[in-house]
A and B are shown apart, each in its own frame.
Chain A
Amino acid sequence: MDIIVCIKRVPETAEADLVIDKSKKGIDTDGLVFSINEWDNYAVEAAIQLKEAQGGKITVISVGPEENNEVLRRALAMGADEAIRLTDPAFEGSDATAMAKILAAAIRELPHDLILTGVQADDDGFGAVGVALAQMLDLPYAALVTDINLEGDTMTVHRELEGGLEEVDKLKLPALLTIQTGINEPRYVSIMGIRRVAKKEIAAKGASELALSGNEVGPEGSMSQIEELFFPPVGEGAEIIEGTMDEKAEALVKIIKERGGVA
C-alpha cells in the first residue's frame, strides 16, 4: 500500500510572545522555534502504524524552503520511506487553494492508495487544504478522523463531531483523510534516529517539474489574500492580581470563597 503524508513546518507559538512584522502581513519569526505541525505529526504516526500492520511504503511531502528538510527528516526517522520537498519562489504567498494545487500536482505523479494530511495547520488554521486536495484528485475523503480500520480496499473511519459525538463512515480506497490530534500517541524521535537518516536524499521539485505555471500558485493562484494582521481586541479582560505569591494566593482564595467555590 502506498501512503502519502503531507506535512508542514510551522513556528511554535503556543507560549511565544508574537510580534507582527513590518509588512503587517506576517509575524516576526526570529527567535521562534519551528517544528512539524502538531496535526501532521499524528498523521505521520497513523501512516506508520498502518504500514506496520499491513506493509507498504510511506512518502512524506512538504511545501517550503530547505529548512523543511528538518521536518521531512524527522518523519523519515519516525519510519517514513521517502521524502519530497516542493519548493519554488513562485509558491510563496500560497493560500489553502494554491497549496492544495501544488500538492495535487506532485501526488498525481505518485502511486497513492491513501493520502493523509493534518486537519489543519497551527499557523494559518485554514483546515481546508486536505479536503481541497481530495477534490482536486477526485478522491473520496473524510475530515477530522480519529480512528482508522483498514479492511482490504475499504476502511472504516471515525470522525470527531462536536460535544464528544463521533461518526463512523466507510470509505473506498484510494482516499484522503485529514487526521485529528489525539488519534494515536506519536512515537518519540531520538537524535540517533535523526542521525540515521541524515544522509538520506530528499528530492526537491519546483514549479516547472510539477508543470505548474506562476499564475496557478502563489498570490495569483490563491483565492484569498491576507491584507493585514492585527492583535485581537482585548475585551474587558481579566483583573490581574498582583503582589507576592502569598498575597496573590490569599486574594484568589478570597475570590473563590465569595464566588461559592469553597463550601
Chain B
Amino acid sequence: MEKVAVLVEHRQNEVRDVTFEMLGKAHKLVGDGGEVIALFLGDASQKGLLDMFSPHAHRTIAYLDSALKDFEPLRYRAAFENIFENVDCQLILMAQTAFGMDLAPAIATKWGLPFTTDVVDIEVTDGNLVAIRQMYSGKVNAKVSLKPSDKVLLTVRAGAFPAEDIPKISGEIREISAGIEGDFSGRTFMKYIEAAVGDVDITQADIIVSIGRGIKDADNIPIAQELADALGGVVACSRPVADKKWLPKERQVGTSGKTVKPKVYIALGISGAFQHQAGMKNANTIIAVNKDPKAPIFGIAHYGIVDDLFKVVPTLTEKVKELRG
C-alpha cells in the first residue's frame, strides 16, 4: 500500500478516538515511503481541530465549507466528488460508527468501490488486501478478500487498533474551499440530544452487577439486584435488556450506552459482543458467569464460571451475606 486515506471523524468540536486508531493503522499499512492522507470535512470554524490530527498525516486535505459544518451524509457524499478528483489513494478507511455506517456504504456504492465493513484487522501480502471481520456477533472471524480495484474502502471497528505511538510527521495541510453542489434538502441535521441522566449513575459505581440476555425475563432481575445490594453495588445491563425496556437505557453498558470502570464488574448471562466490551473492558476485575464456554466475554474476563446464572447467583448472594454478617 502506498497511499492510504483516513476520513477524520469529529463531532461536537472533538476529533473522535477512532480517527487516531485509523491513522495508526494507516501508517503500519504504508510503511516507510508511503503516504498517509487525512481527509477532513467541516467548516472554517472547526479549523482548530486540524492541529489535533494533522501532525500524524503526511498530508491533510481539509475540505472547508459552511455546508459541511454538521455531519450530513448527503453533503459529505457530494464533497467526495471533489476529493476523488484530487486525492489519489488505494485504500480509504472510515469508521464503523454511527458516522461511518451512515456514509461509507453510500460512497462505496456511488463510486463502485469494493468495500467491506466492521474490519478488525487488515493484512496486505504481495499487494493483495485481506480484511478480517467478525460474524455471528463476534463468535466467528472471517478472512475477506475484495474485488481487485485501484481503490477500495474499508470501515474499521472502533477500538480494533491502538491509538498510541502514531508517528509524528507534521505534513502539509491543503485546504479545499470549492462549494459542494447538489440538492441536499432530502435530509437536514436538526440537533443533538444528550444522554438522559437516570436515578443511578453506573459510571460512579465501584461494583457493578451487569445482566444480559441470559437473565431471560424482567421478573428475574431481582436476583441480580439482591446480589448487587449484598455487595453494595448497582445493577447495569447489556443492550438486549435495555432494548426490551427491562432496565432504563442509562443503565446500558457499551458503545451506545455508558463506559464504566468499576473495581469489580460481574457479567451475568452476557455473551460479550464487542459493543458491550467497549464499555467495560477497563474494569479492574471482570467476572463472567455464562453457560456457553465459548462466549466472547470469557476472552476478556479475569475470572469465569461456566454455569447457569440462576444457580450461581443465589448461592453467591448467600455467601456474600454470610461474609458481611
Contacts and interface: CB of A to CB of B under 8 A. Distances in A.
A239 B301 CA distance: 8
A97 interface: yes
Interface stretch (A64-72, A77-85, A204-212, A225-233): A225-233
B229 to A, nearest CB: 12
B207 interface: yes
The 8 closest A-B pairs by CB, nearest first: A164-B195, A140-B186, A238-B304, A261-B264, A182-B243, A131-B105, A238-B301, A128-B105
Interface string B142-156: 111111000000000
B85 interface: no
B116 A142 contact: no
B320 A256 contact: yes
30 contacts: A17-B294, A18-B139, A96-B116, A125-B136, A131-B103, A131-B109, A141-B106, A160-B256, A162-B97, A164-B250, A164-B256, A169-B187, A182-B244, A223-B113, A224-B114, A224-B131, A224-B145, A225-B144, A225-B147, A228-B143, A232-B134, A235-B299, A235-B300, A237-B299, A239-B302, A253-B320, A253-B323, A260-B263, A261-B207, A262-B232
B215 to A, nearest CB: 13
A252 B145 CA distance: 44
A27 B141 contact: no
Contacts of A261: 206-207, 231, 233, 263-264, 285
A142 B102 CA distance: 7
B47 interface: no
Nearest to A243: B305
B143 A230 contact: yes
Given A128-B117, A129-B105, 14 more contacts: A123-B136, A126-B117, A135-B106, A143-B101, A161-B98, A164-B256, A169-B190, A224-B115, A230-B141, A240-B303, A252-B316, A255-B285, A257-B323, A260-B284
A18 B141 CA distance: 12
Contacts of B147: 222-225
Interface stretch (B22-30, B56-64, B307-315): B307-315
A140, A161, A231 interface centre (most CB from chain B within 10 Å): A161
A126 B291 contact: no
Interface stretch (A46-54, A55-63, A106-114, A170-178): A170-178
Nearest to A168: B190
Interface string B170-184: 000000000000000
Given A226-B143, A259-B264, A164 B249 contact: yes
Contacts of B131: 224
B206 to A, nearest CB: 7
Main secondary structure of the interface of A (DSSP, over half): mixed
B66 interface: no
Contact of B298 (A128, A166, A237): A237
A249 B318 contact: yes
Contact of B259 (A123, A163, A165, A248): A163
A263 interface: yes
Given A126-B117, A166-B192, A171-B187, A15 B292 contact: yes
A100 interface: yes
A191 interface: no
Interface string A139-167: 11111100000000000101111111111
Contacts of A175: 186-187
B42 interface: no
B222 interface: no
A224 to B, nearest CB: 4
B140 A260 contact: no
B31 to A, nearest CB: 23
A259 B263 contact: yes
Given A162-B255, A240-B305, A261-B285, A224 B105 contact: no
A125 B134 contact: yes
Nearest to B113: A223
A201 to B, nearest CB: 33
B235 interface: no
Contacts of A140: 74, 186-187
A169 B294 contact: no
A125 B299 contact: no
Contacts of B206: 260-261
Q: Which of A15, A119, A156, A224 is most buried by chain B, counting CB atoms within 10 A of its CB? A: A224
Nearest to B317: A249
B109 A239 contact: no
A259 B265 CA distance: 10
Interface in A75-128: 95-97, 100, 119, 122-128
A14 interface: yes
A30 interface: no
